[in-house]
Amino acid sequence: MKTHHAAVPATFALLLAAPAAADEACRAMADLRINDVNMLSAVTVAATEDLPEFCSVRGYIRPAINFEIRLPTEWNGGLYMAGCGGFCGQLLSDAPGFVNAMNHGLRRGYAAATMDGGHWGTSSVDARWAHHDRLAEVDWGDRAVRETAKLAQTVIARFYDADPSPRIFAGCSTGGRQANMLALREPGLFDGILNGAPAMNYTDLVATWMASVVQANTAADGSRIIGPGDVGLIREHVLAQCDAADGLEDGLISNPDDCSVDWSAIACGEGTNAPCLSAAQIDTLVAWTETGAVNSAGERLYPATVPFGSEPFWGLWLTGFEGGGGALVPVFNQNFLQFMAFREDPGEGFTPLDFDFDTHPAELAYMGRIYNADTPDLTAFAEAGGRMITWHGLADAIVPHGKTVDFFERLQSAHGAALDGVNRLFLIPGMDHCGIQPGPGITSAGFDPLTALENWLAGGPAPESMTITRHDAEGNVDWARPVCAWPARAVHDGTGDWRDPASFACAE
């Protein structure tokens, strides 16, 4: 990619390298007059060990979409925009790592942009901002991303006197929902999209499915049935039954959908002294991992369940931690039901236990039209030349991969083999939601879909595999292997060292 410099008036051309001229070009961005946009500041930020020198442009798109655009002095010609997670609500310009983090692109020389989803919240699981506020809900639904993306492209064109290419969006979880939304509603806005763990049907996932998870783990007296003290036993038992079932004893459950767990060996019986699970706890596990969200007729309301192998991550999502904290799913579910899920907010007082699986799912349709990006039709995105890489951890207990696999099966029915040239799915063994928490698999730091997307956008073939790498606590490579484009899987050759990627090949 070419390197560009900030466009400065001809008078200053001889001073191009001088900091004063670059700073003047930056400060001029604060004076741009753009419809519906209030610029607040534009300042040059000096290079650090972590980041190159950039011009930081901050402001808001009316009424309340706060954004930051970072324009590096040494520009690679592209745009990298990051999505946001959960209910968003904070401008996380310096989010670390790769997930919903614009600096990941800035480090490679992209102009970078991010936004807060169109409202302020105390955290990404706080939805009080949505109480009787349809405009804020529409902004969170898609306008915050779309308008920030358009604004970033305008500001880039003014600053560098060139349009960005390629234009890349990267998001995970809600950021993945935003990725799908862009492909469906604004197919020409980005050339390439990195789509992680997409929460694409927010109403069915965060209202219906999460309510089933919470109800299944709540006893008649309101107490939690499975708590943090039970997870170790469950985890050991699941691993013992599922690790080798994928053909390789490596501490990872690479095909969680192919394993079924018999709980009887750890069920409490008369006179049991060993650690064991009560009948109620086993009922909860069966509801979480097999039954899922169902109505009173037994019909499945969501095509995913808690995957086997996700137990190491249950503290944060499902059960809470020893000593407190965690268990975000009940909080997330309750906030969504109270303030976001229904056309008329039931508000405080409505709890996950009030969710009725026969009547409430149909009442979610109104807000679903605002939030959901679940239509298996990438025709317009393909016609615009779009390329997407979708990735999902196979140990994700809050946005389980089953929905993404179901969506890809529907995409494949709609597009056939042409799907491979537009959107490729990578299912990553042992990975937590968005690769956030360390566990038996890798975190988001252990793979690099951005390079794969860059190569694809530069005219290379659609990616067939990527290498995932696990590092130990000292930072040395523990193991590495290919992860293959769905529906292929990395298959072990039966004899080689499983820590060596050469021992695997992609096969269906």
Give me the residues that bind Ca ion (CB under 5 A), please. Answer: 130, 243, 246, 248, 250, 252, 339, 345
Q: For Ca ion, which is the closer residue by CB, 55 or 252?
A: 252
Least distance from Ca ion to the Cβ atom of residue 141, Å: 11
Comparing CA positions, the residue from 195, 21, 207, 190 lying closest to residue 100 is: 195
Least distance from Ca ion to the Cβ atom of residue 119, Å: 11
Rounded to an integer, what is the distance from CA 74 to the centroid of its chain?
29
Q: How many helices (H) and strands (E) does the chain have?
A: 16, 13
Least distance from Ca ion to the Cβ atom of residue 202, Å: 13
Instruction: Give CA angle at 18 (153, 166), nearest 5°.
Output: 25
Contact residues for 271 (Cβ-Cβ < 8 A; gap 6+): none
Q: For Ca ion, which is the closer residue by CB, 196 or 368?
A: 368
Least distance from Ca ion to the Cβ atom of residue 440, Å: 9
Q: For Ca ion, which is the closer residue by CB, 94 or 249?
A: 249
Determine how β-strand 167-172 pairs with β-strand 192-196.
parallel
Determine how β-strand 192-196 pairs with β-strand 54-61.
unpaired
Question: Is 429 in a helix, a strand, or coil?
Answer: coil
Least distance from Ca ion to the Cβ atom of residue 277, Å: 23
Least distance from Ca ion to the Cβ atom of residue 157, Å: 36
The number of beta carbons lying within 10 Å of the beta carbon of residue 117 is: 31
Contact residues for 440 (Cβ-Cβ < 8 A; gap 6+): 251, 252, 309, 312, 395, 430
Least distance from Ca ion to the Cβ atom of residue 375, Å: 23
Rounded to an integer, what is the distance from CA 49 to the centroid of its chain?
28
Q: For Ca ion, which is the closer residue by CB, 339 or 371?
A: 339
Least distance from Ca ion to the Cβ atom of residue 469, Å: 17
Q: For Ca ion, which is the closer residue by CB, 252 or 398?
A: 252
Least distance from Ca ion to the Cβ atom of residue 129, Å: 9
Q: For Ca ion, which is the closer residue by CB, 186 or 345?
A: 345
Measured torsion, CA atoms of residues 69, 70, 72, 73, in degrees rounded to the nearest 10: 80
Query: End-to-end distance of the chain based on CA atoms, in angstroms?
Result: 36
Residue 448 burial (C-beta neighbours within 10 Å; 0-12, 13-18, 19+):
middle
Least distance from Ca ion to the Cβ atom of residue 339, Å: 5
Q: What's the Cα-to-Cα distance from 474 to each of 171, 440, 446, 477, 478, rounded to whole Å?
A: 29, 16, 14, 9, 10
Least distance from Ca ion to the Cβ atom of residue 117, Å: 14
CA distance 260 to 420: 30
Contact residues for 310 (Cβ-Cβ < 8 A; gap 6+): 256, 317, 395, 396, 397, 400, 432
Q: For Ca ion, which is the closer residue by CB, 68 or 250?
A: 250
Least distance from Ca ion to the Cβ atom of residue 502, Å: 18
Question: Is 304 in a helix, a strand, or coil?
Answer: coil
CB 19 within 8 A of CB 36: no
CB 185 within 8 A of CB 380: no
Q: For Ca ion, which is the closer residue by CB, 344 or 508?
A: 344
Strand partners, 197: none
Q: For Ca ion, which is the closer residue by CB, 84 or 252?
A: 252
Q: For Ca ion, which is the closer residue by CB, 68 or 345?
A: 345
CB 312 within 8 A of CB 437: yes
Q: For Ca ion, which is the closer residue by CB, 4 or 481?
A: 481
Q: What's the Cα-to-Cα distance from 260 to each of 246, 256, 295, 318, 389, rounded to whole Å?
A: 12, 8, 23, 20, 30
Q: For Ca ion, which is the closer residue by CB, 115 or 248?
A: 248
